[in-house]
Amino acid sequence: MDLAAYLNAMIALFVIIDPIGAALIFHSLVPPDDMRHRVKMAIKATLISASLLVLFGSFGEPLLHKLGISIDALRISGGILLFYTAFHMITQDIEYTSTDVRKDIAVFPMSIPMLAGPGSLTLAILLYSKADSGSTTLSITLAILTISAATLLLMILSRYVKRIIGRTGDDVLRRFLGVILAALAIQFVHDGIVNMALIS
């Protein structure tokens, strides 16, 4: 296992997926007293999103190649998209409105676009595209599974997460992670431009 690749992928995924923020939003979308429904929705959402991230990350680059899109073009466009996501993380407020209605939120909005949205799917492709060995690929997959497991646990325990971190704590964390994500996005754009310039 490539520890550096694992840590790099895990940090990047943690920043863009934001398991704590996802847990707080999850808490507002499911009935607070129906534990069975909460666990079912949390498991379903994390299984779907983890599968999408691994599959899209593993097979996204060959698909792009078939479409005539280079990985460096994806780095630039993905970096711009991630920066857009980061900008909204920093500048926008999120409203949390509790509900007592039982409905299936696993696919929308929890899996898509929250956990496996355009930003995280693009990030998955970029991470897998930089893997130069089977060990690195395994490390990235393990990072996705680790973040998915952490997100699952936090969603199941979301009522306690809300009590501990509160609205203010989530605002501070989300804006800090937004700054980190913006820097990561600029790095992707920089790498894409440099690589394209070297090729040409």
From 95-99, 103-107, 151-155, 159-163, the region with the lowest mean pLDDT: 95-99
- Share the mean pLDDT of the chain: 86
Give which of 29, 39, 1, 17 is closest to 157, Cα–Cα.
Answer: 39
From 30-39, 45-54, 64-73, the region with the lowest mean pLDDT: 64-73
- How many folded domains does the chain comprise? 1
State how far Cα 111 lies from the chain centre: 10
Question: Residue 16: how many CB atoms within 10 A of its CB?
Answer: 26
| pLDDT(29) > 70 | yes
Give the mean pLDDT of 157-171.
Answer: 83
Give the mean pLDDT of 35-54.
Answer: 95
pLDDT at 138: 95
pLDDT band at 53 (very low <50, low <70, confident <90, very high): very high
Estimate the crossing angle of helix 118-129 against helix 71-91, to 10 degrees: 140
Domain that holds residue 45: 3-199
What pTM was estimated for this model as a whole? Answer: 0.79
| pLDDT(157) > 90 | yes
The CA dihedral of 156, 159, 160, 164, to the nearest 10 degrees, is 130
Note whether 105 and 37 are within 8 A (CB): no
pLDDT at 51: 97
Work out whether the CA dihedral 139, 141, 142, 147 comes out positive or negative.
Answer: positive
Residue 107 has what DSSP assignment? I
pLDDT at 200: 66
Query: What are 33-41's contacts with CB under 8 Å, separation 24+?
Result: 34/102, 37/102, 38/155, 38/156, 38/158, 39/156, 41/104, 41/105, 41/106, 41/110, 41/155
pLDDT at 90: 84
pLDDT digits (tens, 9 = 90+) for 88-140: 878 877 665 666 678 898 998 889 878 998 778 888 998 998 888 889 999 99
